[in-house]
Chains A and B, each alone.
Chain A
Amino acid sequence: MSQRIAVVAGIALLLCAGIGVTSSQTPQPYVIGYISDFSGPFVDTFSPVHDGFRAHIDRVNTAGGVNGRQIQTIVRDDQLNATRAASLMRELVTSEAVNSIWSLSLSSTLPGVYTLAKRLSVPAISSVSAIKSTLPPAEDYAYSTGSPFEVAGEVSAKLAAPVAPSKGKLMCVTIDSAGGFAACGHTAAAAGAMGFTNDPLMFPPAKVEYGAIGERIASSQPAIVVTHLPAGLAPGVLLAARSAGYRGPMLLHNVAFNEATLVKAMETAGNFENTYVFSRYVLAHDPLPEVAEIGRAAEAVGVKPADFSGNHIAGWVHGKVAVAALTKCGFPCNGEKLNGALSNLSVDVGGLSGGPVVFQPADHQGTSWWKTYSFDSASKKFRPTGDWVEAPSKLTYTVGDKK
C-alpha cells in the first residue's frame, strides 16, 4: 500500500515538475485588448477591420511573436454603445490586465474611452474613426490610425478641385454626428477658400431609405458631391442620387465601406461614371504586391477573396502599428511604458499609404496621405487617378465641431 502511495506521489511530483518546466519555458505573452462593434449597426465595417488586424497578429505570432513572446488579443463587442465601450475597457484593464485597447468603433464611442484611457494610464488606439483628441495638441493616451474627420474634410476639398468640372456648388453629404459636423465643416471651410460655394446636406444617422436624399441632390445639381459617410451609407446615397438622375461627380470618403458594395450600388444604378473614392490607405482593388499579400493572409483567417476589402487593409495597418509599439516597448510592457513607446513611433507601411504612420508626443495622428480612385468600368475595379496627397494633422481652417 505504502509502495503504491509512493508511486502515485512520485508521478504527481513529476507531473508538477513537468508543468513547472513547461510554464517556465513558455514566455508570458503580451496581452492586449480589442474593443469594436461585432453585433451592432456597423458590424460589416468593424468585423473586416478585426479580420485584417487578426491576420497580421497571427502572422507575427506564427513567426515567433514579438521579442520572443506571443501576442494574446482579448476581444470585446461594444455594439456601438459608448457606455458599454467604456465599461468594457475598464473590465479589460482591471480583470484581464491588458496594456492597451485597440480598434474601438465609431467616433461616438471614442471620447469616453479616451477619457478612461488617461485615467487608467492605458493607451487606446482607434482604427477607423478619429476625433480631435488625437490631433495636435493630442490628449495623452489617445491615438488613432484611422481617418480624422477634420483632416479628411480639408483634404476632400483639395481632391475635389481636379474632379469637379467647374468651381460651382460643392455639396457635402454626411450624417448628423460630431464626426459629420467636423468633416463637412472643414470641407466647407477649405472648399470656400478654393472658390466653391457650399451646400451641405446632413441627415439622421438612423436613416435607412435614401430616396429623398437622392432627389435633393439631383434637384440641387451641384458641381460635385463629397460624402463623409460610414459603411453602407455612402453606397446607399450614391445609388439614390444616381437613381434620382444626378450624373455629376461624386467623391466618396472611404470611411470603411466595402468596395464590392459600392460596385454593386453602381451596377444597380446602371451608372459607372463619375464615381470617385478617396482613402487614407489603399483600396483592395489597388494592384500592389502588399495588397495581394494581405489578401492571402486574410484568406488564412477565413476571409473569402470576394469579401476582401479596404477594411482588411486598415485592420492590417492597425496590427502593424500594434506590433511595432509592443516591439519598442519591450517586456514587461505596461500601459504607461507602451504609451511612451507609442508617443514616439514611426511605422513603415510600405505602399499601403503615402508615408509611414508617425506618432509624436503632441501629435497622435501624424501626417496622413490620401489617394483618389476612380472606377474603371472595363476592369470593374477602382484605379488610382494620381499620386498620394499629403495632409498634415495640424489643421489649416478653424471650424466649430458643433453647428
Chain B
Amino acid sequence: MQQLTSVLGVAGIYALLATGIVLVYRTSRVVNLAQGHLAILCAFCVAALLAAGYHWTAALPVTIAVGCLIAAVIYFAVMRRIVGEPAFVGLMATVGIAILLRGVMVVAFGGVTITTQPLLNGSIQLFGADLSATQVLVAVAAWGVVGAIVSVNQFTSIGLLMRATTENVVLAAQRGVNIDRIVCLAWVIAVCAAATGGFLHSQRAFVSTAAILIGVNALIAALIGGMDSFIGAVIGALAVAASEHFVLLHFEARYADLAPVCLMLVILTIRPWGLFGTQEDVERV
C-alpha cells in the first residue's frame, strides 16, 4: 500500500507536468521542454516565501499568480512571435526559455538545495496500512488537479474553444475564436500545473536545480501516451513512475532511469504517435 501511494504520488507529479505539455502542444503544436524548469522555479518561489514566514495558503497562490505572469510573458514575448514558423523553432524557443529559467534560479536562489516543511506530518491509516500523510496528500492533490485540468478541457465552454483550436485552428479563428487568448490560456494553465507539480515535489523531496529533471520524465510520459492526449499523459505518467519504482526496488537501482526511456523507445517503435496520440500529427522524413 505504501509503495502504491508512493508511485501514485510521483506519477501524479509527472501527470501534472505532462498534461501541461499536452495542453500547450494541442493548442500551439509546441513541445515545451521548459516544463520542469517552470515547475522547479515555482517550487523555489514557494520555498522562499515559506522561509520568509508566509503561510502556504498565501505562498502557493502568490507563486501561481507569478507563474501566470511568466506564462503570459513567455507567450506574448516569444511564442506569439513565432506562430507559423517550422515546429523546431518553437522547440528551440523552449530550450532557450529553459536555459534562461535555469539561470534565473541560480541567480535568484543561489542554486542551493532547499527543503520545505511538509503541510502534514505523521501517518494515516488506510486499508490497514500506515501511510505517510505527506505521500497521501501529494497523490490526492496531484491527481485532483490533473482531473480539474482535464475536466476544464472536456466539460467547459473554454475547453470547447480549446478543443476547437486543437482540431482546426484556421476554422476556429474564422468562427470567431480568439486564438491568442486560447493559446495564452493554455500556457497559463500549463504553468499553473507546473507550479502545483513543483510545490508537491517540494513536499516529497528537496528543491534544487537538479530537480528540473522531473520535466524530462513528464515529457517521456507525454511521448508514451501521445503528445495530444490527456488520457495518454495520465497513462504515460503512471507507466514512467511504476517502471522507475519497480526497477529501483527489485532490480539494479542504477538502471532505474533507463526503464522509462526503454519503455518509451519500445512504444514509439510500435506506435510512433504514442499510445493514445493522433496518427496524422507525426511527420517524419
Q: Which residues of A contact B (CB under 8 A)?
A: 39, 41, 43-44, 47, 176, 201-204, 206-213, 215-216, 219, 231-232, 235-236, 239-240, 243-244, 258, 261, 264-265, 267-268, 270
Contact = CB atoms under 8 A, between A and B. Distances in A.
Given A41-B208, A216-B249, A219-B249, A207 B257 contact: yes
Nearest to A48: B112
A244 B204 contact: no
A211 B253 contact: no
Interface of B: 2-3, 6, 9-10, 103, 106, 110-113, 115, 117-118, 121-122, 132, 134-135, 201, 204-206, 208-211, 213-214, 244-245, 248-249, 252-257
Contacts of A265: 115, 206
Interface residues of B, dominant DSSP = helix
B112 A43 contact: yes
A296 B188 CA distance: 46
Contact of B2 (A41, A176, A235, A244): A244
A202 B254 contact: yes
A339 B121 CA distance: 55
B111 A236 contact: no
Contacts of B211: 208
Contact of A201 (B111, B134, B253): B253
B113 to A, nearest CB: 3
A261 B2 contact: no
B254 A44 contact: no
B249 A44 contact: no
Contacts of B213: 206, 208
Nearest to A240: B205
A261 to B, nearest CB: 6
B209 A43 contact: yes
Given A208-B205, A211-B204, A212-B256, A203 B113 contact: no
Given A47-B111, A215-B3, A41 B210 contact: yes
Contact of A232 (B110, B113, B122): B113
From B209, B210, B244, B255, name the one whose CB has the most chain A CB atoms within 10 angstroms.
B210
B113 A211 contact: no
Given A211-B204, A213-B248, A39 B115 contact: no
Contacts of A213: 248, 253
Given A41-B210, A212-B244, A212-B245, A235 B256 contact: no
B251 to A, nearest CB: 10
Contacts of A219: 249
A43 B9 CA distance: 28
A210 B205 contact: yes
A41 B211 CA distance: 9
A208 B211 CA distance: 5
Given A41-B209, A211-B10, A232-B206, A261 B113 contact: yes
B9 A44 contact: no
Among B9, B135, B206, chain A packs the most CB atoms within 10 A around the CB of B206
Contacts of B249: 212, 215-216, 219
B253 A44 contact: no
Contacts of B121: 270
Contacts of A240: 205
A268 B248 contact: no
A268 B118 contact: yes
A236 B256 contact: no
A43 B111 contact: yes
Given A44-B113, A211-B10, A231-B113, A216 B253 contact: yes
Given A206-B213, A211-B9, A236-B206, 13 more contacts: A201-B253, A202-B254, A204-B256, A206-B210, A208-B214, A211-B245, A212-B245, A232-B210, A239-B115, A243-B132, A258-B113, A268-B115, A268-B117
A129 to B, nearest CB: 17
Instruction: List 10 A-B pairs, minimum CB-CB distance, nearest first.
Output: A232-B113, A43-B111, A212-B248, A176-B254, A44-B112, A264-B115, A204-B257, A208-B211, A202-B254, A41-B210
Nearest to B138: A211
A207 B111 CA distance: 17
29 contacts: A39-B106, A39-B111, A43-B209, A44-B110, A44-B208, A202-B253, A203-B248, A204-B257, A208-B213, A208-B214, A209-B10, A209-B201, A209-B214, A210-B205, A211-B204, A211-B205, A215-B249, A216-B248, A216-B249, A239-B115, A240-B205, A243-B132, A243-B134, A258-B112, A261-B113, A261-B206, A265-B115, A268-B117, A270-B122
Contacts of B113: 44, 231-232, 235, 258, 261
B206 A203 contact: no
A219 B3 CA distance: 11
A42 to B, nearest CB: 8
